[in-house]
Structure 1
Amino acid sequence: MVHVREMDEADVGAVSAIRVRGWRAAYAGIVPRTYLGALTIEDDAAQRRRMLSHPGRTSRDLVAIDDRGDAVGWVCFGPCRSEAYALGEVYSLGEVYALYVSPDLTGQGIGGKLLEEAHAQMKARGFGGSVLWVLADNRRAQQFYERSGYEADSATQDDVYDEVTLTELRFRRVF
C-alpha cells in the first residue's frame, strides 16, 4: 500500500530515477533512443532541485511512498500553462505537468492514487478542471487518463526530440 505526500529535497534522487526510468520505459519505440539514452538521473536531479528552490514556483510535487518508505511514483501539477478555455463558463484550469511510476510497479494503482490527490489539491486551489498532454503514440497513457475521466479535446502541439517531431494531444477533465 502507498501513501501520498508532498515531495521534499530528500526525495529528489528517487524521483529523478523514477522519471528517467519512466521515460525510457514509456517512450521506448516512440522517442528516439539517442534522446532516451542521453537522459541521466544526475541531470534530472539538478533540474528538480532548481525547480524546488525557485522562489516564484507555482507548481506542486507529490510522491507516492511505499511501506518501506521508498518513493515509487511522482506527480507534478499547477496552473495551466496554455491558453485558458472553458466548457460552458469561464473557470481556471490546473495542469498535470508530469506523472511517473516506477516501471516495475505500473498497473498497481499508484498513478491513480497520485492523480486523485493532485485533483483534490487542484480543486482546493479553486481550479475547475485539469488538462494534460500525452504523446499521440503513447496509447497506454491515453487509456490511463481516459479511465481517470480525461477526454482528448482536439488540441495538439509538436515537440522535437533529436530532430524527430512528435505530436502531443491535449486531454481535459472537468472537476
Structure 2
Amino acid sequence: MSFPIAVRDMRLGDVDRVSEIRVRGWQTAYRGLLPDSHLDALSVAEDAEQRRAFFARGGPAVVNLVAERGDAVVGWAAHGPYRDGEVRTTDAELYAIYVDPGHLGRGVGHALLQESVRRAGALGHSRMYLWVLKGNVAARRFYERAGFGADGAEEAFEVDGVAAPEVRYRGDLPSVPRSG
C-alpha cells in the first residue's frame, strides 16, 4: 500500500532525519560531480548539529518543509528571500530540496516544490530562483518539467579543488490573492 505524500512545516524533532536525507542526497546526487573524498566525509551528525543550531535561532525568513509518507519523513525543502550575495531581494529562492534516495521518482520532490512555490506566491513573491550544479542533469530536468528554466546566470563553485559550476534557474510564481 502506498501512502499519500503530506507536506508540513519542519519541527525541531525532524532535524536528525532531515540531516540524514540531506547528506544521503548529496552522496547520491553529486557522485561523479564532486570528489568522492568530500562526499564520503560528509557527516549526518555534524550536519544535524549545525541544522539544530540554525533551527534554534529561528526566524521567519527561511521556510523549512518536510514531506511525509505515512509516519516517515522522506524529503525536505527550504526556501526564503532570494540572496544576491548578502543582499536580500523581493524575489524568492529555493535554497534546497532533497529526497530520501529510496523515494526518488515517487512525487516527493514535486510535492515539496509545489508547496514551496505556493507559499512563496502567497507571500507576494513573483519569481523564485534556485541554483543547481550545471552537471546535475537529473535535477535540471526535474526543475524544467516544473516550469523553471535556466536564465543564463552561472556561478563558480568549487569543492576540494574540483570545479562544479552552478546555473541559476528562474520560475514565475502564480499570484495568490491575499484574503482579508
Map of 1:4 onto structure 2? 7
Task: For 1:57 and 1:157, locate their aligned partners in 2 and report how far apart those are by CA, in whole Å.
Answer: 27
The answer to whether the 8 A contact 1:51-1:57 is kept is no
Structure 2 match to 1:130: 128
- Give the conservation status (yes or no) of the 8 Å contact 1:156–1:170: yes
Identity of aligned pairs, percent?
A: 41
Q: Which runs of 5+ in 1 are unaligned?
A: 84-90
SS in 2 for 1:92: strand
Q: What residue is the counterpart of 1:87 in the other structure?
A: none
Q: Which residue of structure 1 aligns with residue 43 of structure 2?
A: 40
Distance in 2 of aligned mates of 1:35 and 1:92: 34
2:80 matched residue in structure 1: 78
Structure 1 counterpart SS, 2:20: helix
RMSD of aligned alpha carbons: 1.3
Q: CA deviation at 1:35?
A: 0.8
Structure 1 Cα separation of the partners of residues 79 and 54 of structure 2: 12
> Structure 1 segments of 4 or more deviating over 2 A?
none
The 2-side partners of 1:93 and 1:154 are apart by 17
The structural deviation recorded for 1:119 is 0.6
Q: 1:26 aligns with which of 9, 25, 29?
A: 29
Give 1:115's aligned residue: 113
> 1:104-134, CA deviations, whole angstroms, 9 ceiling, x for partnerless residues?
1111111000000001110111111100000
Map 1:52-63; keep pairs closer than 5 Å. 52-56=55-59, 58-63=61-66
**Displacement after TM superposition at 1:53 (Å):** 1.5
Counterpart AA for 2:93: E
1:90-105 map, 5 Å? 92-105=90-103
Q: Secondary structure at the match of 1:31?
A: coil
TM-superposition CA deviations, 1:139-173 (whole Å, max 9, x none):
00000000011000000111111111210000000
Equivalent residue, structure 2, for 1:13: 16
How far apart, CA to CA, are the structure 2 residues paired with 1:57 and 1:35? 32
In 2: Cα distance, 1:55 partner to 1:4 partner: 20
- Does structure 2 conserve the Cα–Cα contact (< 8 Å) formed by 1:131 and 1:172? yes
Equivalents in 1 of 2:132, 2:143: separation in Å? 9
* Amino acid paired to 1:134: V
TM-score by length of 2: 0.89
Q: Structure 2 unaligned runs (5+)?
A: 174-180
- Number of aligned residues: 167
